[in-house]
Chain A
Amino acid sequence: MKGTERIMLGHGSGGLLMHELLEDEIVAALGRGSIQPDDAAVLPLDGGEVVFTTDSFVVDPIFFPGGDIGSLSVCGTVNDLAVMGAKPLYLSVALILEEGLPIEDLRRVLRSMRRTADEAGVRIVTGDTKVVPHGSADKLFVTTTGIGLRLKGLAPSSSRIRPGDALIASGSLGEHGLAVMLRREGVEFGAEIVSDVASVFPIVESLKPFGDAIHAIRDPTRGGIASTLNEFASASGCTIEIDEQAIPLRDDVRGACEIFGFDPLHVASEGKLVLAVAPGNATEVLCTLRSVPLGSNASIIGTVTDRRTPRVILRTAVGGRRILEMLAGEQLPRIC
């Protein structure tokens, strides 16, 4: 970590800085070789494959249009299991509460957590609670850990991506990131942009019949679809070409991004998937996705072209071409 001797907010943004932190510090210290590179670890146990993951949630504000830290903390971990092709089964929940948090806020979060877990078909089976002095945490932090069982036949992993694969987005992108940002900044923006936070397991389950043809699945959270696609490119060593016009984006998301100077391709979703699918199955997979409620806006957004250079190229809406980069640091509002 050249020249950056302190942890900065940019280290948590899901972009390049965060990748450096993970690679150079965390994975290097805790177990290169044993830490698996995907969103969750696959552990062979007694003939089946157990999938195991953990995630912490520090969203500010804790309540936002379309969800709250409770629903987010359940869906986030459920989705990390689902993208590995697993059916989520059990969760643990660890809470860090700041002194002074209204009990009613805690109740609201817990109710939301329970409702989301019920809907997602997972059971919360253990947990831990700590209280810290005022100022040592921001209201409420949640860590959830999850266990699931891999569905037979599905073995998605970004290392299985190969030239020819079709890239598919399961729906419109960027809504979660903007919903949170607009609420945090107190910005009113026409009709409210609502977070897309949801369990993506029903989408993954619908893909079971395609088995091996589903090469990779990711949920484009922090860092947006640009980070996901770049992870795909570097894990597989392939060049990916994306058609800007084919990327599903709602008009209000595009409009808000224009105003704040964000690239919507860098903004987080919490209920969407990006998939790499064998070319012969792309149309069928697309039809299947569109038949699932969460996948009605699914769209083929690009292809894996070759194995020359790991990078993502964007064919722009006006017919130009450019590199689609990962977010470099913290996403900052522009001044003009």
Chain B
Amino acid sequence: MKFVDEYRDAGLVRRLAEETSRLAGRRELTFMEVCGTHTMSIFRNGIRVLLPATLRLLSGPGCPICVTPNRYLDQAIALSRLPGITITTFGDMMRVPGSTSSLERERAVGRDIRVVYSPLDALELARRNPSREIVFLGVGFETTSPGVAAAVQLAGSRHLSNISFLVAHKVIPPAMRALIEGGVAIDGFLCPGHVSVITGSKPYEFLARDYGHPCVVAGFEAADVLEAILMLVRQAIAGEAAVEIQYRRAVTQEGNKEAQRLLNSTFDTVDSEWRGIGSIPESGLSLRAELKGLDAAEKFEVEVEPTLEPKGCRCGEVLQGRITPNTCPLFETACTPENPVGSCMVSSEGTCAAWYRYARMPGDCL
């Protein structure tokens, strides 16, 4: 498969891993991969066994499902219980536990909740079902928010009156700042690839400049991840801190200007609640004042149940790289992918789910 196989070449991967081991020597180094897709790639490819034991990889808060707070889900669930409403959502949201229910369970008792692949599918559903109110759950980072922004703009220009958006989009760099301010001990960031296609690599510059952290924007195939780790090791060993782009076939310094314009004309930056972490300044998006007619939170009044956080769940600490999932007392016992307690166990990109699936081989995997 072209554009994929060349980045999964076993010989290339081995050479990159050997070079990394040689350069890192016995130096203890810890890097954080911010993006959930990197976490998945590292596990699916079994990359950790290829690296020296002194090089640690920590997962960060880059799984959009995982950082969505309970209250948002409770609000979506409350909306789904209103008559005449159809909830449309990306598939990962279905099984995320809210305070007392989940969208999957609400669908099982007859609420109209549908999985869509694109926010444009929600527009189409609204057009074909004028008697129903369609609500789209807008969740995710800059990889998904431009698509939702496009759908919001189209809904406005097509004068669709029966669609609205429950928006909980987030932006990544402020969360990275919050982690450092919170004292996470790392030697550099593996920065997200597809978020950076939109934002460019500039938004990470403060991390290198103000905090002295090496940053490398990485692609998602095995050779991409290993090359980016090698670039981080080079910076760390040399005592440098810069923002570099490994994922050059997709990412530029400036990013996608058109998508950035669309985001700016659709959303305002606001303080936002991250599950398990708390409120982070200027880390979320909300619909601009002139688009409030399309905001589901304004359009429908619902009573949202009091937020209940799962007892004993340590997702917040996992998301901040403070603990690894196997340290949580619920991991593998009360909390499994079939019966998740915390959000990190639900999404295929969640750190706990990745550990559960791939890292339960003592000694030979981690």
Contacts and interface: CB of A to CB of B under 8 A. Distances in A.
Interface stretch (A114-122, A149-157, A276-284, A322-330): A322-330
Interface residues of B, number: 54
B207 to A, nearest CB: 22
B45 A316 contact: yes
A261 B95 CA distance: 17
Nearest to A1: B339
Interface in B222-272: 222-223
A103 interface: no
A16 B43 contact: no
A6 interface: yes
B308 to A, nearest CB: 14
Nearest to B106: A6
A336 B360 contact: no
Interface string A23-47: 0000000000000000000000000
Contact of B105 (A8, A258, A319, A332): A8
Contact of B358 (A4, A322, A329): A322
Contacts of A192: none
B75 interface: no
Contacts of A313: 361
B289 interface: no
Contact of B46 (A4, A7, A322, A333): A322
Nearest to A327: B337
Interface stretch (B26-34, B86-94, B315-323): B86-94
Contact of B10 (A251, A258, A317, A329): A317
A17 B140 CA distance: 27
Interface string A1-16: 0111011111000001
Contacts of A105: none
Interface in A95-147: none
A191 interface: no
Q: Which of B13, B46, B109 has the most CB of A within 10 A?
A: B46
Contacts of B107: 8-9
B104 to A, nearest CB: 6
Contact of A328 (B10, B48, B338): B338
A293 interface: no
Interface in A252-279: 254-255, 258, 261
A320 B337 contact: no
B4 A318 contact: no
Interface in B44-93: 44-50, 64-65, 90-93
Nearest to B347: A334
Identify which of A2, A8, A255 gathers the most chain B CB atoms within 10 Å of its CB.
Answer: A8
Contact of A325 (B4, B117, B349, B357): B357
Contact of B44 (A9, A254, A322): A322
A188 interface: no
A336 B49 CA distance: 26
A179 B101 CA distance: 33
Contacts, number: 126
A334 B349 contact: yes
Nearest to A251: B1
Contact of A318 (B1, B45, B348, B356): B45
Given A313-B361, A316-B46, A322-B365, A7 B10 contact: no
A316 B358 CA distance: 12
B270 to A, nearest CB: 21
A20 interface: yes
Contacts of A317: 8, 10, 45, 222
Contacts of B194: 336
B105 A16 contact: no
B91 A334 contact: yes
A321 interface: yes
Nearest to B13: A318
A335 B109 contact: no
Interface in A284-336: 313-323, 325, 328-330, 332-336
Given A258-B4, A323-B361, A335-B91, A10 B339 contact: no
Contact of A2 (B1, B105, B140, B339): B339
B115 A333 contact: yes
B162 interface: no
Interface in A168-210: 185
B360 to A, nearest CB: 6
B91 A332 contact: yes
Contacts of B37: 336
B106 to A, nearest CB: 10
Given A325-B357, A333-B90, A318 B222 contact: yes
A4 B93 CA distance: 17
Contacts of A6: 105, 108-109
A178 to B, nearest CB: 14
Contacts of A20: 338
Nearest to A261: B348
Contacts of A325: 356-358
A320 B339 contact: no
B277 interface: no
B361 A333 contact: no
Contacts of A316: 44-46, 222
Contact of A329 (B47, B144, B337): B337
A17 B337 CA distance: 9
Interface in B89-139: 90-95, 104-105, 107-109, 115, 117, 139
- For the complex of A and B, the 3 pairs showing the least CB-CB separation, nearest first, are A320-B46, A332-B91, A328-B337
18 contacts: A3-B339, A318-B45, A319-B50, A320-B45, A320-B46, A320-B50, A323-B360, A323-B361, A325-B356, A328-B336, A328-B337, A328-B338, A328-B353, A332-B94, A333-B90, A334-B349, A335-B93, A335-B140
Interface of A: 2-4, 6-10, 16-17, 20, 185, 251, 254-255, 258, 261, 313-323, 325, 328-330, 332-336
Given A314-B46, A328-B336, 18 more contacts: A4-B105, A4-B339, A320-B47, A320-B50, A321-B361, A323-B358, A323-B365, A325-B356, A328-B337, A328-B353, A329-B337, A332-B91, A332-B115, A333-B117, A335-B139, A336-B141, A336-B144, A336-B194
Interface of B: 1, 4, 8-10, 13-14, 37, 43-50, 64-65, 90-95, 104-105, 107-109, 115, 117, 139-141, 143-144, 194, 222-223, 336-339, 348-349, 353, 356-361, 364-365
